[in-house]
Amino acid sequence: MLIRVRKSWEMPERLVTAEELVMNRRHLLRGAGALAIAGALAGCDNGSQTSQNGGAGGIQTSATPDPTASMYPFKRNPAYVVTDRAMTPETIVASYNNYYEFGVEKDDPIRNADRLPIRPWEISFEGMVEKSFKTDFDTLIKAMPLEERVYRHRCVETWAFVAPWSGFSMKALVDYAKPTPDAKYVVMKTWMNADVAPAQNMVWVPWPYTEGLTVDEARNELAFMVTGMYGKPLPKQNGAPLRLVTPWKYGFKSTKGIQRFIFTDQRPKTYWMALGPDEYGFWANVNPQVPHPRWSQATEEILGTGERVPTQLYNGYGAQVASLYTNLADERLFM
Ligand code: MTE
């Protein structure tokens, strides 16, 4: 049996990133938690091997055919293209990831996410909707207006890329859910499965990963539910089978592996707000002039180029989204 303990608390000091908030090494090494994590993450690697070997206990492997594969590629919508930068190579977007359920290093998701079973994939619509219901991902995708869009992506850690996402507008999803008029927010929650993501055994981390938008933001033309990228179904490390992309916001809003949509009139406390309320807020709109408390947001690195360029307000999408925030001057809109 392969037992390899990922030293997730041994993050290089140069990576002054959000990850510290999840698994701060000083915090962890002080307590018995260190042992628990070592065990948990060892289990994670062990499981990857199980999956590669054909799986045990019914875990789906990447060899399982994706029933939606023949639907791709979707027709590109010419209204959503990026003209000022080149497309980032697929290999980079698919291998440099944040998906903390699978570990804290950028290459952990591509190594570990294969263990996540994504069929069947039930999605629920709950809370302030005309009638709560559940649907299966393969049923949902057939009911949606499918298209491809090219968007800029900007992580709060200051890296950026350009990718072609396949999916459907979040507005179509909201219409499908039929929220009642008093619903103000839509909350998205990721799966829970500590068998494939032993990090979810860490009780001090506020799993499941939770994010939210106002219903107005969700209905904005740019909010996009993503099912694929580069003309194919989404890789698991990028959030298969269903994730959000909101290109004017920092990437942590883009919840991966969504299983629950909850409509509510209460602003949710998100995963990052719970972990670091002084550093992460609800809105998380990109702004070069509002630094993160620990680093500047003035510039960003375009992955694969080694180039740093100026960050753009709302990541360059101000024309489409600035009007959402005109009456919210008192809010912390940019963190
Ligand atoms: N969704 C879940 N469930 N778990 C996560 O850790 N990380 C977020 C977001 N969605 C995350 C998540 C962060 S911090 C970023 S920057 C983007 O996913 C990264 O998306 P990518 O790996 O496809 O580039």
Q: What is the pLDDT of residues 47-65, one digit of tens each?
A: 333 333 233 333 444 557 8
Instruction: Tell me which fold the domain 21-151+164-274 belongs to.
Output: Sulfite Oxidase; Chain A, domain 2 (3.90.420)
With a 6 Å cutoff on the Cβ, whether 252 touches ligand 1 is yes
With a 6 Å cutoff on the Cβ, whether 228 touches ligand 1 is no
255: CA distance to ligand 1 center in Å?
6
pLDDT digits (tens, 9 = 90+) for 145-173: 999 999 999 999 999 999 999 999 999 99
**HSE of 7, CA atoms in CB hemisphere, 13 A:** 4
Task: Determine which residue's CA is closest to atom 16 belonging to ligand 1.
Answer: 251
With a 6 Å cutoff on the Cβ, whether 246 touches ligand 1 is no
With a 6 Å cutoff on the Cβ, whether 97 touches ligand 1 is yes
Task: Determine which residue's CA is closest to atom 24 belonging to ligand 1.
Answer: 97
pLDDT computed for residue 6 by the predictor: 37
Cis peptide before 310 (omega within 30 of 0): no
Rg (CA), the chain: 19
Beta bridge partners of 228: 166, 233
Q: Which pLDDT tens digits describe the chain residue by residue (335 residues)?
A: 233 333 333 333 333 344 455 555 334 333 333 333 333 333 333 333 333 323 333 344 455 789 999 999 999 999 999 999 999 999 999 999 999 999 999 999 999 999 999 999 999 999 999 999 999 999 999 999 999 999 999 999 999 999 999 999 999 999 999 999 999 999 999 999 999 999 999 999 999 999 999 999 999 999 999 999 999 999 999 999 999 999 999 999 999 999 999 999 999 999 999 999 999 999 999 999 999 999 999 999 999 999 999 999 999 999 999 999 999 989 999 99
Residue-range domain boundaries for the chain: 21-151+164-274
Task: Determine which residue's CA is closest to atom 3 belonging to ligand 1.
Answer: 256
Cα–Cα dist 127/263, whole Å: 5
Ligand 1: atom nearest CA of 257 is 3
Ligand 1: atom nearest CA of 93 is 24
Cα–Cα dist 223/125, whole Å: 18
Cα–Cα dist 276/208, whole Å: 16
